[in-house]
A and B are shown apart, each in its own frame.
Chain A
Amino acid sequence: MSNHTHKPKYSTDLLTFLMLMALTALTIWASFATGGTTVLAVSVAMAIATTKAFLVIRNFMHVKYDHVIYKIFIGLVSLLFLSFILILALDYAYR
């Protein structure tokens, strides 16, 4: 059961927003600094995007207040998707 007893705060939403904006600025800067299509550029861009996704899911979607089952489900779906990427990468690497 979700924790509906927690006190929602406007300040938490605003802080999350500021962090997301800062990360957006960082990812634009990093795309120029890392040269666009290098492995480093892709890795940095995806790392920043995943950090932003984590903030949205945790704070805006309130998963930090929810029952642990939501965290388990989200983790499992993420693992499923990562396994798809891995299988695709292995397929292309060894053909």
Chain B
Amino acid sequence: MGHYKIPNSGHNRDDEGSKMGMWLFLFTEILLFGGLFLVYAMYRYLYFDAFKIVSEHMDIKLGAINTVILITSSLTVALSITAIKKGHKDFAIFFLFITIILAWGFVINKYFEWSAHIHHGLFMGKEAFNNLAQGEGMFLFLYYFMTGLHGVHVLVGAILLMVVAFRIMSNHQNETKYTFHENSGLYWHLVDLIWIYLFPLFYLLH
């Protein structure tokens, strides 16, 4: 009986497979939000005037600030990946921490925005909300649901990037091994990608 060697035995590492798996996960995320965008489109068509009335009260300035924050954070994540590929570990960590600060900036901004609406009673179950026309309430419900789900993704992304930073510090990620960093970056860019559509739909079209 001939003897043979098992290829890669004990050291299996498949960077490409890992990235492909991440992209497949991102597709499920895109279709999750895609379904919500379809619901938005349907109700916008059904309650055109109601959507127009409520969307006029959205704060474009806060929405624009959050857009700038997310685009800037997408840049800093991209820069951190470029840095790790070049072997500039300190830069990579620096850019990741800037990204995490920006992520918190986004969440805090969103907190103030939601608080202002809730303060005016515009939240499910409150009197002012219950007195709204059906379409107006639906716009706000979709606004809370979609931006809330997106906000959860921002928090998950920020935690992932923190883990990446610690893995670089402990040399588990470096210029020859950066797939976890790259995949976490892909997730963060998806968060930015979804906001790119949420911003005009909830803040600009009125």
A and B are interacting partners: yes
| Partner-B contacts on A (CB < 8 A) | 1-2, 8-10, 13-14, 16-17, 20-21, 24, 27-28, 31, 36-37, 41-42, 45-46, 48-49, 52-53, 56-57, 59-62, 66-67, 69-70, 73, 77, 80-81, 84-85, 88, 92
- Within the complex, the shortest CB–CB distance from A19 to chain B, in Å, comes to 10
The smallest C-beta distance from A18 to any residue of chain B, in angstroms, reads 9
Which residues does chain B contribute within 8 Å of A27, judged by CB atoms? Answer: 199-200, 204
Contact B79 A13 (CB under 8 A): yes
Q: Which residues of A contact B20 (CB under 8 A)?
A: 69-70
Across-interface contacts of A36 in B (CB, < 8 A): 52, 204-206
Asked if B196 and A28 make an inter-chain contact with CB atoms under 8 angstroms apart, the answer reads no
Find residues 54-107 in chain B having any chain A CB closer than 8 Å to their own CB: 60, 64, 67-68, 71-72, 74-75, 77-79, 81-83, 85-86
Contact yes or no, B82 A10, CB < 8 A = yes
CB atoms of A13 and B197 under 8 A apart: no
Min C-beta distance of B123 to chain A, whole Å: 25
Query: What does DSSP make chain B's interface, helix, strand, loop or mixed?
Result: helix
A24-B68, A57-B193 known; A8 vs B204 contact (CB < 8 Å): no
Question: Given the complex, which residues of B lie within 8 Å of A60, measured CB to CB?
Answer: 74-75, 77-78, 185, 189, 192
